[in-house]
């Protein structure tokens, strides 16, 4: 499990200015949380338990950047009590945690393109971004994180209505909708 924070985003109505990213190294599944810049080690640990532990259990190893939220006593004590090892990425070498760095680049690209017209809505869009990340096929595994974690693909209502709406580019959308309908009928 990789963990990293990114701050400095436009303040959302709930006071959030940052994103905490939890990224599973095996399945590539990412969990995103909008947070205020005042979040501390205890708050981050609670997010970890809510977003990661309840869905995946304990990781054997967790790699994190050297953000104080991950080097604090509370965070270290959680890993000690739970029997998990916490490794820090090497100072000045964030590539140690390359998978999460890659996820962060993708998130930044998504934020720039989707929220360009309304930059303060990024926080409300995180669940959609997380879904998109976890429903994308990864080159290293050949599968989506959803499939690796549950051996199933999530239902996506938009796929069923692409043809009717006229959105989605014609023949490709038709094939996607046909395939989706066939998969759902055969369940």
Domain boundaries, given as residue ranges, for the chain: 2-149, 155-187
CATH number, span 2-149:
3.30.420.10
Top pLDDT among 11 and 152 is at: 11
* CA nearest neighbour of 52 among 30, 74, 68, 71: 30
d(CA 149, CA 185): 22
The mean pLDDT value for 11-24 works out to 83
Is the predicted pLDDT of residue 12 greater than 50, yes or no?
yes
In tens, the pLDDT along 143-169 reads 888 888 887 777 676 655 544 544 444
Give, as one character, the DSSP assignment of residue 4.
E
């Amino acid at each position: 499990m990789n963990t990293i924070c990114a701050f400095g985003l436009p303040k959302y109505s709930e006071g959030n200015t940052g994103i905490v990213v939890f990224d599973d190294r095996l399945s590539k599944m990412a969990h995103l949380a909008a947070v205020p810049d005042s979040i501390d080690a205890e708050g981050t640990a609670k997010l970890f338990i809510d977003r990661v532990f309840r869905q995946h259990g304990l990781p054997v190893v967790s790699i994190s950047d050297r953000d104080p939220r991950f080097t604090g006593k509370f965070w270290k004590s959680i890993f000690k009590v739970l029997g998990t090892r916490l490794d820090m990425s090497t100072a000045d070498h964030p590539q140690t945690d390359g998978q999460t760095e890659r996820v962060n680049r993708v998130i930044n690209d998504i934020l720039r393109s989707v929220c360009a017209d309304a930059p303060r809505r990024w926080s409300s869009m995180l669940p959609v971004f997380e879904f998109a990340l976890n429903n994308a096929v990864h080159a290293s595994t050949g599968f989506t994180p959803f499939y690796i974690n549950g051996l199933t693909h999530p239902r996506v209502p938009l796929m069923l209505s692409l043809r009717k709406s006229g959105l989605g580019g014609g023949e490709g959308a038709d094939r996607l909708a046909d395939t989706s309908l066939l998969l759902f009928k055969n369940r």
